[in-house]
Amino acid sequence: MARPVSHNTKVKMVEIPKGYSGEGFFATSFDKVIGLARKNSIWPLPFATSCCGIEFMATAAAHYDLARFGSERMAFTPRQCDLLMVMGTIAKKMGPVLRQVYLQMAEPRWVIAVGACACSGGVFDTYSVLQGIDQVIPVDVYVPGCPPRPEAILDGFMRIQDLVGQESMRRRHSQRYQELMNEYGIQ
């Protein structure tokens, strides 16, 4: 009798980076190996304040399954996380809180702004709402939509993965990065 279980035969493995291999050794650069490891185990910190957060819940749940990208481990403490996912309207009063969360994250850290409000204030063009989180912290990837569908959030997440995988080991020590941080008043 056939077993009532169907096995997933389409499992995709991460490709081996370019390098030299031979009997019992494989040599490649740190950049590639560390990038590979980082991009496939990003720990996200969901900073969800409104409806985009609901879309993110769908993204993280079984149907869209963020775990496929090695990110099922959400942490709600910034000290353990690599990726700050800002989803929803950020009021001006929330700005310093968001900034504090970002400051508590350890380098290397990335930020994704999900939805129109986090990107630009969205429809809330008013005195009480921060007009885009890039006024208080640097952002790596913007996901448009009001709210974006889970597919869009996943697309933004994969772009973050590309950035993480290709980032040079020296980027965070570079003059340019230091200048970017100084623009935001971060030492």
Longest dimension (CA), the chain: 68
When asked if residue 135 is in the footprint of another protein (CB under 8 A), the reply is: yes
Report helix, strand and coil shares of the chain as percent, to nearest 5: 40, 15, 45
H/E run at residue 114: strand 110-114
When asked if residue 149 is in the footprint of another protein (CB under 8 A), the reply is: no
When asked if residue 183 is in the footprint of another protein (CB under 8 A), the reply is: no
Least Å from the CB of residue 97 to another protein: 12
Residues 35-64 that bind another protein (CB under 8 A): none
Least Å from the CB of residue 91 to another protein: 9
Helix ranges (DSSP H) in 93-174: 95-104, 115-120, 150-166
Q: Strand pairing partners for 91?
A: 129
CA atoms within 13 A on the CB side of 37: 6
Q: How many residues bind to another protein according to rule CB under 8 A?
A: 12
Task: Convert residues 77-106 into a mask of x (bound to another protein by CB under 8 A) and - (unbound).
Answer: ---------------xx-x-----------
By beta-carbon proximity to another protein, the closer residue of 88 and 121 is 121
Applying CB under 8 A, the residues found at the interface with another protein are 92-93, 95, 120-121, 125-129, 131, 135
